[in-house]
Structure 1
Amino acid sequence: MLKQEIKGLLHEGTVIPAHPLALTSDRQLDETHQRALTRYYIDAGAGGVAVGVHTTQFEIRDPEFALFEKVLTMAMEEIENAKVQNSFIKIAGICGPVEQAIQEAKYSKEIGYDLGLLSMGGLNDLSEDELISRTEKVAEIIPVFGFYLQPSVGGRVFTYDFWKHFADIPNVYGIKIAPFNRYHSFDVVRAVCNSKRNDEIALYTGNDDNIVNDLLTTYRIKTGDKMVEKKIVGGLLGHWSVWTKRVVDLFEEVKKVQNADTVPSKLLTLGQEITDANAAFFDPKHDFKGSIAGINEVLTRQGLLQGNWCLLEKEKLSPGQSEEIDRVYADYAHLHDDEFVKRNLSKWLAER
């Protein structure tokens, strides 16, 4: 079962960055900058962090690198040092076939993570029923946060019935909706609204191309003879791993009007500016090939990373991507938090 205080935070809605991986130029773990990133998210006011997820690079699990346990442990140590364990949502990425997922769930639970973000990526040989069975086994170990990963980066399309069965599983408490597709996103919302566990499940956007609209929308779904309302209350996003202080500020602006009858047009405009910035970071022009390197590039420019390197050499900026990041930096200066980072960077990089 999910701790009551964490469940409350989850349902209230918050900013949860997907934690990147800090590397040296020879692609070894950069422990100093890895810890600095966690400190940055805490001080920026994020309500949690997700570690071991796509932005952290799934390859941390490969025997060649063997970084999964190390990276999860380091983040937990920083959270404990900051004394925010009970007011900070700690999410561990969980991947792979059943046995691997079970082992990752056990380790994550053992060291103090609240939920497991369960990816279905890379399991195209499994049927939807087999994936539901896998979820049930993981949910016996750790509270589960579902993850609808977009097909462009290793996910797949699921049916409404899959998400309905998923939502009915005891110990599922959240779903990250990230198919980058309006139709597929709506399937998840409708499925949860039709689940007997609707009130137990918090919906979070992972649609980095539609963040603000997702957060401003109230869904009204007819279930039987009644109408159910459901909101996407927060975000668990790779995009939110950069410029995070401004993200937190903007999220608070959005929350003030989430229950209002009218939405200020400036927020809709802001949403499109954020989408444009995301296009530079996530590289949809090249099927998202530069998405992780793009995030790392922004953090490098701020000094939070030493370089945009990824574990795999093929993971790098696409042609023209650096120039696109230059453009959005210039066009949307109100979206970055460079001054906040500059004021605090030496503190985050300091040994403790």
Structure 2
Amino acid sequence: MPLNRFDLPREVLSLLADGAVIPAHPLALDANRRLDRRRQRALTRYYVDAGAGGLAVGVHTTQFAIREHGLYETVLASAMEDRLAWSDRPMVMIAGLCGSTAQAVGEARTAAALGYHAGLLSLAALAAAPEDELVAHCKAVSREIPIVGFYLQTAVGGPVLSSDFWRRFAQIPNALAIKVAPFNRYRTLDVVRGLVDAGAEERVFLYTGNDDHIVLDLALPFVAMRDGAPVTVRFRGGLLGHWSVWTAQAVAQLARIKAVLTQGGGSLPPELLALDARVTDCNSAFFDVANNFHGCIAGCHEVLRRQGLLEGIWCLDPAEGLGPGQAAQIDRVYRQHADLSDDAFVRENLQRWLS
């Protein structure tokens, strides 16, 4: 049965509007590259206890290859089952949707049937299509489930999308949010302008996916002009692969930013602004920027492996692994930014999550 944004629980809409930490859920595999159900469950429990406001499952960090391995529905169902069994607090559950219109519509139906609230719609498979076709694609999928737009960076296959595309996207009645992840300030501003041009800034929520500027996206106001007057827009939260690791600290960082904006009259202390560079430095290692993001999934796996949440860094594709020198970069950020980790939190709870 199709799901409309107005059918969503009020608590879920409030979470999205207020701003939440939404990690992109990784895939736990064993040494034979088969689903490790125990550790997959442990990851979900970790994100719930870390205070995440939602989970994004079946997205890039979960590995798009789950589809060709017949794991898409299994992985989505597992995350939903494990999250509900572990905690009854409200959380936003977002399913990754990709491929042709027929595939994305089918995945949207699967996600809605499993109880997911929205679908994060990747356009990478249609990257060469004209924007009219992309808008039609988004509208077709939105008839099945509320959609979260996804501006994916071109380095990993995303198309360049105009401000006008985002204006048209924001006008779709069942558009719920936009994950802005072009890793490019000009293109980030294109989304902001499109949202403001659509007059949708209070209805379609901006979530950062810019892992290279997480803190600044969350802390700074973005201004676009409409009818000769400035309109201020803010990112509500983030839906991030980077937040699949050190998640408890990410929750604390977002809470700190919100507190400063609410109680500090909008004045941002220098140390909070400086945190952006430190988080970005960590991301450079976890996402293997030096090797053009080759190890972006394996790098997150490596952090989770060091914490004991994963047994290894295996991906479905045997060719995916750490990039040259990436392990040394992760060693470096662990030394230099140890206070940004949540290793102690994981140590205290790991056996309970693995039980």
Verify same fold: TM over 0.5. yes
Is contact 1:217-1:258 (8 Å) kept? no
- The within-5 A match list for 1:324-339 is 324-339=329-344
Residue equivalent to 1:221: 224
Q: C-alpha distance in 2, partners of 1:190/1:128?
A: 17
Q: C-alpha distance in 1, partners of 2:146/2:78?
A: 21
Residue equivalent to 1:231: 234
Is 1:60 the counterpart of 2:66? The answer is: yes
Give the gaps of 5 or more residues in structure 2.
Answer: none
Residue equivalent to 1:22: 28
Of 291, 295, 303, which aligns to 2:300? 295
- The within-5 A match list for 1:149-188 is 149-188=152-191
Q: C-alpha distance in 1, partners of 2:298/2:158?
A: 19
Is contact 1:16-1:236 (8 Å) kept? yes
Q: C-alpha distance in 2, partners of 1:175/1:188?
A: 8
Is 1:44 the counterpart of 2:50? The answer is: yes
Q: C-alpha distance in 1, partners of 2:210/2:222?
A: 16
Residue equivalent to 1:79: 83
- The within-5 A match list for 1:161-310 is 161-259=164-262, 260-310=265-315
Q: C-alpha distance in 2, partners of 1:282/1:289?
A: 8
Per-residue CA distance 1:253-284 (angstroms, 9 max, x = gap): 11112353310100111111110000000011
Is contact 2:48-2:87 (8 Å) kept? no
Letter in 1 for 2:227: G
Give the gaps of 5 or more residues in structure 1.
Answer: none
Residue equivalent to 2:74: 70
Residue equivalent to 1:12: 18
Q: How many residue pairs are counted as aligned between the two chains?
A: 347
Per-residue deviation, 1:161? 1.0
Is contact 2:22-2:53 (8 Å) kept? yes
Is contact 1:215-1:258 (8 Å) kept? no
Per-residue CA distance 1:68-112 (angstroms, 9 max, x = gap): 000000000012113436x10000000000000000000000110
Letter in 1 for 2:30: T
Residue equivalent to 1:129: 132
Per-residue deviation, 1:181? 0.2
- The within-5 A match list for 1:334-349 is 334-349=339-354
Per-residue deviation, 1:115? 0.5
Q: C-alpha distance in 1, partners of 2:162/2:257?
A: 30
Q: Percent identity?
A: 50
Per-residue deviation, 1:122? 2.3
Is contact 2:56-2:95 (8 Å) kept? yes
Per-residue CA distance 1:19-71 (angstroms, 9 max, x = gap): 00001111111111011100000000000010000000001011xx1110000
Please identify, of 196-205 and 296-305, the stretch whose mean Cα deviation from structure 2 is larger: 196-205
Letter in 1 for 2:46: Y
Q: C-alpha distance in 2, partners of 1:251/1:229?
A: 19
Is contact 2:151-2:181 (8 Å) kept? yes
Is contact 1:93-1:117 (8 Å) kept? yes
Per-residue deviation, 1:311? 0.6
Is contact 1:93-1:116 (8 Å) kept? yes
Letter in 2 for 1:161: D
TM-score between the two structures when normalised by the length of structure 1 = 0.97
RMSD of Structure 2 on Structure 1 (CA): 1.0
Per-residue deviation, 1:297? 0.5
Please identify, of 148-157 and 35-44, the stretch whose mean Cα deviation from structure 2 is larger: 148-157
Please list every run of at least 4 consecutive aligned residues from structure 1 whose deviation after the TM superposition is greater than 3 angstroms: none
Is contact 2:56-2:94 (8 Å) kept? yes
